[in-house]
Structure 1
Amino acid sequence: MSRHKLQERLKMKNVETKHGEQFNDLLRYVFQVTNQELQRFGWENREIAQAKLPVLKQADVLGWFDDDKLISQLAVYPFQVNIFGQIYEMGGLTGVGTYPEYANLGLMDQLMRQALTNMRERKQSISYLYPYSIPYYRRKGWEIISDKMSFEVQDTQLPKLKTVSGDVERVSIEHPAIKDVYQRFALQKHAAMLRSDLAWEEYLRWDLDDLTAAVYYDSNDQPMGYLMYWIAGEVFHMKEMVFVNEEARTGLWNFISAHFSMVTYVKGYTYTNEPLAFLLDDSDIKETIAPYYMARIVDSRLFIEQYPFQSQETECQLTFNLRDPILEWNQGNFTLTVDKQGKGNLVEGGDNPAATFDIQTLTTMLMGYKRPSYLARIGRCQADEATVKMLERLIIHEKPYFSDYF
């Protein structure tokens, strides 16, 4: 059969719960998840299908069908993120895959265009994703906005115990204090996920059964931090450490150091630009930094309406040219006006643009991952010196934090 006739036969439509088994089969094929791996994590096929049902019920799942066979798909989770103190509706893109015999038909490109159109209609002005290929998603308009730093600390390098007023209690990962602490933490951290029940399910989906938690309580018995971890082969594996103040951070590291006689290494991750090494007495530890999540602005005008620029002495105005490889509503000249309070407004049009950049650059710049001066220096933002300085003044200096996975 010719590829033209094959394309005519294919239909794009919503993936529903009745397609759950096909949805699961396509995911497993594309991401090469074997039965052996599933058994190692204690999952059976039936359990995976049940676990993914919430995805099909709560997410926007689109697919291409060849008759009744699901052959290409993606899913968009309805999430929320904190961007410089403003709560944004975010479309979390996941479950992207196409069977190889249907590759190179432009199916995924059309699915993404439709998914982004749906996000815009739902007022999800930004989208996050974990990239299996950074170049591929850059071509679709996403850009890196966060890092993941792995670290390895020897037992002899663990920090010495420091006096704190509170105590640590070991609890199950379902303990209500954990969600309470994380919510307060996420409201302090720029770019962090506000975890709904669905987000928590995704975050913990593939964890080992022996994952446990420790909560730090201050002198008033208020939970101020927690640690999720497991111990195996004399290694203390830290999944996540969350704290709302330095006292809680110190108390949790006291707890880790108390395992000195049990472990040889502590391994874990941080998600900020602050290396752990500086905080340790012996800073000669192994740290590895890698790009983590990507994002793309879906609707530039809606995103700007919510965006908190820094307050200024006078109103600022900038006309710029924006390029987007997929979305026509993010293409052309736009005029940005920011009042003294930092409230922005973006309208289409304007003559003689003072800056030119693509949606990828605009995203990473407004998210604070890369500064305007750096982006101008490497040629990602074409603008004169005065315009770059204005952008530097307008955008808050704070690196994104994102520790979730979906």
Structure 2
Amino acid sequence: MEDTEKFIEVNGDFKMRKLTEDDLEQFNGLLSYAFQITMEDLLRTGWTEEQIMHAKMPILKNAYVLGWFYHDKLASMIVVYSMKVNIHDNICKMGGVTGVATYPEYTGKGLIRSLIKQVIMHMYEEGQFISFLYPYSIPLYRKHGWEIISDKITFTIKDSQLPKKKQAEGMMERVDLKCEDISNVHDYFSMQRHGAMIRDELAWDEYWRWDNDNIIASIYYSKNHKPLGYLVYYVKNDTFHIKEMVYLNTEAHDGIWNYISAHYSMVSEVKGNNYSGEPMAFLFEDSEMVENIEPYYMARIIDVQEFILKYPFLVKLPKLKLSFKINDPVAQWNSGVFNVYWIDEETVCEKTDDIHAANLVEMNIQTFTTMIMGYKRPTYLYECGRIQTEYYMLRVLEQLIPVEKPYFSDYF
């Protein structure tokens, strides 16, 4: 008799369960099929077939991987990484959703929908108050409560537009990709930037996993040899490609750009991505450059009440009580009215069914997420019809929510 205790859900010939290391071959197979990754593509990066086969083993060991099986054949799956992000200087648990895939013969059966609902419950139980994901379909994930919270701005700079050399007392040094100073700089940087991911070993492994042999890392050191920034890049076909640029102060910023400009004779242009939410052109003497903006990551508040309790509101108004009415059809614990007020600087959040509460602000979970994360301001969302409230409450919300867009440069 089949052991049904290991199954989370059974629906006819389909059974939902966690994947284990024994499922590695099927796991890799579905990833490769769904995301059109061929063995030839991976071999060109310099990996061996054995390395490719086991590259994703850490995911099955350290992540929550859930799948639907049809007669023991993996049909559909979803992956949740256990991660941490900086939410306005508060380090919060985050569920990073990735690897959402289904073989085409099993589409239209609601497999992904049920997997998403199950992992939302899993993240709730794990105390992961927020979830991030990179969407292959924004409308799909909006249906399940995620919303856009960050942008990626791609820029192209001509060699003639590179900044002139500025005074920087330190110097750049090329280092090994696994140099500890890189992770130390990023740790310090991410502790200062709202929305940034706190990279652990698994996150760094994902960061470097498929880079080719041409990738280079260089660190900016102060005159006292203190690491203040780093640049990860490669040069190909007369183009300087920036994978990541991180700096802790203006000195490091200028030192890194001095280093890039020193490649003037080697390249015709510089390309890279900016995740600050602000275009770069203003910072350059010649600002006539091309910058393309596109939505990047989406987020979802998994536990509204706990998130509010830990959220660093800008002001604590002792005489104010406001009420968020949230609609979340997927996570019922988030649907309802949340009364928020402050006692001795401490935030209080109580869930109630009182739809006639004072100072009511009504929205769905998607709008609440993008507003509370600072990607879109309350007044803008009100004017778009995404918030229902009395107009005077907008001034209150604008006072409460910090003015800083999330910075998220990772990909998983």
- Determine whether 1:365 maps to 2:362: no
| Residues 3-402 of structure 1 aligned to structure 2 (within 5 Å) | 7-339=11-343, 341=345, 343-353=347-357, 354-402=360-408
Q: In 1, Cα distance between the equivalents of 2:372 and 2:49?
A: 42
The 8 Å contact of residues 308 and 344 in structure 1, kept in 2 or not, is answered as no
Q: Which moved more, 1:353-362 or 1:43-52?
A: 43-52
Distance 2:280 2:333 in 1: 42
Of 273-282 and 37-46, more deviation after overlay is shown by 37-46
Query: Post-superposition shift, 1:220?
Result: 1.8
Post-superposition Cα deviations, 1:244-302, rounded to whole Å, max 9, x if no partner, equal: 11110010000000000111110001101221111111111111010000000001111
Deviation (angstroms), 1:339: 4.7
- Name which of structure 1's ranges 378-387 and 35-44 shifts more when overlaid on structure 2: 35-44
1:321 is paired with a residue of what secondary structure?
strand
Kindly indicate whether the alpha-carbon contact (under 8 Å) linking 1:92 and 1:129 is maintained by their aligned counterparts in 2.
yes
Distance 1:315 1:196 in 2: 42
CA distance in 1: counterparts of 2:163 and 2:153, whole angstroms: 19
**Contact 1:15 1:63 survives alignment (8 Å):** yes
**Residue deviations 1:184-213, cap 9 Å, x none?**
000000000000000111112221121111
Q: What TM-score do you get using the length of structure 2 for normalisation?
A: 0.95
Q: Which amino acid aligns with 2:395?
A: K
- TM-superposed CA distance for 1:39, in Å, is 2.6
Amino acid at match of 1:17: E
Distance 2:234 2:130 in 1: 34
Alignment-mate amino acid for residue 198 of structure 1 = L
> Cα distance, 1:315 vs. partner?
4.1
1:153-201 Cα shifts (integer Å, max 9, x gaps): 0111000001111111111211111000000000000000000000111
Where do 5+ consecutive residues of structure 1 fail to align?
Answer: 1-5
Is this contact kept in 2: 1:310–1:341, CA < 8 A?
A: no
Deviation at residue 344 of structure 1 after TM alignment: 4.8
Q: 5+ residue gaps in structure 2?
A: 1-9
TM-score after normalising by structure 1? 0.96
3-state SS of paired residue (1:194) = coil
- C-alpha separation between the residues in 1 aligned to 2:253 and 2:348? 36
Residue pair 2:197, 2:410 contacting (<8 A) in 1 also = yes
Deviates more, 1:250-259 or 1:44-53: 44-53
Identity across the alignment (%): 49
Alpha-carbon deviation of 1:313? 4.7
Matched to 1:332, the amino acid is: G
The alignment partner of 2:257 has SS state of helix
Closer/same/farther in 2, CA of residues 315 and 174 from structure 1, 3 Å limit: farther
